A and B are shown apart, each in its own frame.
Chain A
Amino acid sequence: MWTDRELLGALQRGDDEAWEEAFRRLYPSAFAAARHPLAALTPSEAEDIAIEALTLLLPKVNQVAEFDELRLLVITIASRKAISEKRRQLADKRGGGDVTSLDAMQDDENLRFEPAEQLTGRLSPTDLRELSRLLDAALAGLNPSHAGLLRDFLVHHLPYKELAEKYRMPMGSVGVTLARGLEKVRAHLKTSPKLSKELYSYLR
């Protein structure tokens, strides 16, 4: 069994077995990132994106200092590719004869995908690790059920109806609880002004 340090060294030397082990370890993260809810790709499309993202680690392996950076890298690569793929699919569909309100559809796609594409394209592994820490800290400060609700809304993009059923909550309370939770996360983000400034600038 490789330690992370040994594994990274072997990867940088181009050891075939080490790469196989790394691909096995990283695939679940790559696949989860490729299934970004905004992209809403099918499992088989997400598998293709995840495999492609794994191969794109090869030229980057000498630029990282720890194995875990490869995980963060593959996540940002796979999610960006998944969102771009979805956007491409929609553009193809539009070019394929569906001409209803083209400008409106284009605007809608830009609104939906552009911020996420910008963000995932520019998010560094360090940003992602820091954001994850802040998000965990913010959620830890909430009532566990409200934290679960907010996590499902943000991470899995569950609709209000499913959230209300899962957390046995009236539909009317879902929005209020989410809005209060978001406010707490925003307060946590403010404790790291450099990161939040950077992240918000990526959305523009």
Chain B
Amino acid sequence: MDADSFNDLALRVLAGEATDHERRALEAELTAHPERRDEFDQLKRTHDLLRAAAPLTGAMSAKEPELPAHRLNELRTAVRQHFGPAAQRTKAASASGWFSALRWIFAGGGATALATVMVLLFFSNRSIEVGLYGTDLMRGGDASLSPADVPAAKLLTFDQDAPFDQWQSQPLAWYEHAKVWVDNEHDLLHVVHRVKHGHIVIQSLPLAPTTAGQRDQIKQVVELLEK
């Protein structure tokens, strides 16, 4: 077999284009001429390398498609999660230079920033909210949920339907990781939480039948969310 025929056959096998007959022919050629094994191995290495890497070089000059508009929000969320909400202000602060930064600090901006940081820290520690009716807590007595059961979460109690409904329907704020609430009407525990890249997932779990069971269920959910 001449060099061209051998290279053609070998490449056909490597590219998955060969028939069974051609594969056997290559095996026979390599057995009959062991010196060609090295030639084949070199071709295979070049083939494997370029078939894996060449598509990446092609991607370097890609001009389309455009970023889908509906994916922009999750990217914005990822930026906010990484840099914090004051990203835009950082630009203005650095652009105005040291002098204005110092003036801002002496003018009380530092105190404001400190207060903002404290508020952020407060909320970031409480980024899971658990909502339920105050009457449920009273009825449950010792078995009902207390702030000590869910130290990682902020417990919100409601006395009326309207504010509770409003809280449930509000989208998660930037500092919130999740919110959880009991739906006694349908015997469900609703969990709204963020997953990777700011995606928000809503889950509804069957509610435990007893008050103590519900307390343990909420504790478990909060612990899982915290992880």
Binding site for B on A (CB under 8 A): 10, 13-17, 19-20, 23-24, 27-33, 36-38, 47, 51-52, 54-55, 58-59, 71-72, 75-76, 78-79, 115-116, 119-120, 123, 128, 131-132, 135-136, 151, 153-157, 159-160, 172, 175-176, 178-180, 182-183, 185-186, 189, 199-200, 203
B63 to chain A, nearest CB (A): 5
Q: Interface extent on B, as a size class?
A: 35 or more
Decide: A58 near B82, CB < 8 A? Known: A36-B55, A116-B52, A135-B57: yes
How would residues 79 to 97 of chain B score, 1 for a CB under 8 Å from any chain A CB and 0 otherwise? Answer: 1101110011011001000
List 15 contacting pairs A-B, 8 Å CB cutoff, sorted by A: A19-B79, A38-B52, A47-B71, A51-B71, A51-B75, A78-B59, A135-B50, A160-B12, A175-B12, A179-B8, A180-B4, A182-B46, A182-B47, A186-B42, A203-B48
- Whether the Cβ atoms of A15 and B62 lie closer than 8 Å is no
Complex Cα–Cα for A16 and B89 (A): 10
Nearest 3 CB-CB pairings of A with B: A14-B83, A179-B7, A175-B8
CA distance A55 to B54 in the complex (A): 24
Contacts of A153 in B (CB 8 A): 15
Q: Check A31 against B62 for contact (C-beta < 8 Å).
A: yes
Cβ 8 A contact of A14, one of B56, B82, B196: B82
User: How does the 8 Å CB contact mask read for B48-80 relative to A, with 1 for contact and 0 for none?
Assistant: 111111111111101111111001101110111
Nearest chain B CB to A9 CB, angstrom units: 9
Residues of A with C-beta under 8 A to B24: none
B interface, over-half SS: helix
Residue from B11, B58, B82 in contact with A155 in the complex, judged by beta carbons closer than 8 Å: B58
Q: Which B residues from 12 to 37 make CB contacts under 8 A with A?
A: 12, 15, 17
CA distance A189 to B53 in the complex (A): 13
**Which residues of A have CB within 8 Å of B87?**
13-16
Q: Given the interface contacts A20-B72, A29-B59, A47-B71, does A154 sit within 8 Å of B54 by beta carbon? A: yes
Quick check: is B130 within 8 A (CB to CB) of the other chain?
no
A58 near B17: Cβ-Cβ < 8 Å:
no
A23 near B56: Cβ-Cβ < 8 Å: no
| CA distance in complex: A31, B67 (Å) | 9
Instruction: Verify A10–B91 contact, CB threshold 8 A.
Output: yes
Q: Report how far A72 CA is from B79 CA in the complex, Å.
A: 20
**B78 in complex: contacting residue of A55, A115, A183, A199, CB < 8 Å:** A55
Interface centre among A10, A14, A115, A153 (most CB of B within 10 A): A14
Indicate if the CB atoms of B90 and A32 lie closer than 8 Å: no
Picked from B15, B54, B60, the residue with its CB within 8 Å of the CB of A71 is B60
> Is the pair A54, B75 in contact by a Cβ cutoff of 8 Å?
yes
Within 8 Å by CB of B52, from A15, A20, A120, lies A120
B197 within 8 A of A: yes
Contact B94 A189 (CB under 8 A): no
